[in-house]
């Protein structure tokens, strides 16, 4: 994303403070002031203004994200055509597999979880709707990047790198690009403990009528209770079938 020619510093600072409050799951004035280059008094003014508009709430001496952001987030999600086309199919796949099913989209080189559904055996993770993640370490991200032009992938890798999240994360550029070639050939991606130890997932891209990925869907489950047949046959068939239904609904409805 191109940098604005004339950024409004006050707005930029306010949004930075909001992101810090979210990252820390609540923070006080002193804690925030240590993370930004303005004084406590200025931080306090930002926080009080946000709290007055109910974008933050104050609990004792800590500020937390307020519900006013919820309506904005829901509005933004509902404007995304993939969400409307995919929601029912995500729910259906979660019920059929009994696992956690995720819908991810890419924005500015990062992945954003757009929707989740939990089957009866779904694992509890750190993910939630709206969470941002690096693309290289997830099956979802690799499914998206496998169906993007190579120069676009290179730009994303240049921007964010390939940091190791676990000992299984692919951190070598050439190996990662080869992995994406395999993803494109077989039409789905896998993640065996590449973002979280003990977690694996199978993901398929959701593509437009030009075969460019516009999102991805995955089934995630603990490594200890999934065999090779399910991981390499049953789940790929399931996510590919669901992705195809979503594509038809999104591209041709």
Residues 6+ apart with CB under 8 A from 20: 27, 32, 35, 36
Place of tokens 């604005």: 4
* Domain 9-69 in this protein, CATH class: mainly alpha
pLDDT confidence of residue 204: 98
Q: Where are the domains of the chain?
A: 9-69, 80-252
Tally of CB atoms within 10 A around 189: 29
Reference 116, options 131, 101, 105; nearest CA is 101
Would you place residue 7 in the very low, low, confident or very high pLDDT band (cuts 50, 70, 90)?
low
Say yes or no to pLDDT of 2 above 60: no
C-alpha 65/C-alpha 58 separation (Å) is 9
Q: Quick one: 80-252 is in which CATH superfamily?
A: GAF domain (3.30.450.40)
Say yes or no to pLDDT of 1 above 60: no
Fold: same for 9-69 and 80-252:
no
61 phi and psi, to 5 degrees? -105, 10
pLDDT, tens only, 196-236: 999 999 999 999 999 999 999 999 999 888 888 888 899 99
Task: Determine the 3-state secondary structure of 69 from DSSP.
Answer: helix
C-alpha distances (whole Å) from 252 to each of 39, 114, 187, 214, 216 are 54, 21, 21, 14, 18
- State the chain's mean pLDDT as an integer: 91
Would you place residue 24 in the very low, low, confident or very high pLDDT band (cuts 50, 70, 90)?
confident
pLDDT, tens only, 34-46: 888 788 899 899 9
């Amino acid at each position: 994303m191109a940098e604005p020619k004339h950024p409004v510093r006050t707005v930029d600072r306010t949004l930075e403070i909001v992101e810090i409050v979210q990252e820390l799951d609540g923070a006080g004035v002193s804690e925030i002031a240590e993370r930004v280059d303005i004084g406590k008094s200025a931080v306090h003014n930002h926080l009080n203004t946000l709290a007055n508009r109910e974008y933050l709430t104050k609990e004792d001496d800590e500020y937390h994200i307020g519900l006013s952001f919820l309506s904005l987030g829901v509005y933004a999600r509902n404007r995304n055509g993939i969400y409307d086309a995919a929601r029912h199919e995500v729910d259906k796949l979660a019920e059929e597999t009994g696992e956690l099913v995720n819908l991810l989209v890419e924005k500015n080189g990062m992945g954003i979880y757009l929707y989740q559904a939990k089957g009866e055996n779904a694992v509890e993770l750190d993910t939630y709707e709206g969470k941002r993640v690096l693309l290289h370490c997830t099956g979802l991200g690799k499914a998206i990047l496998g169906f993007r032009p190579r120069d676009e992938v290179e730009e994303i890798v240049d921007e964010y790198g390939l940091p190791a999240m676990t000992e299984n994360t692919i951190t070598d550029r050439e190996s990662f690009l080869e992995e994406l070639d395999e993803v494109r050939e077989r039409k789905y991606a896998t993640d065996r403990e590449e973002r979280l130890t003990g977690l694996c997932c199978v993901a398929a891209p959701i593509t437009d009528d030009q075969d460019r990925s516009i999102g991805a869907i995955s089934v995630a489950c603990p490594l200890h209770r999934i065999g090779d047949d399910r991981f390499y046959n049953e789940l790929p068939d399931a996510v590919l079938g669901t992705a195809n239904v979503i594509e038809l609904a999104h591209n041709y409805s």
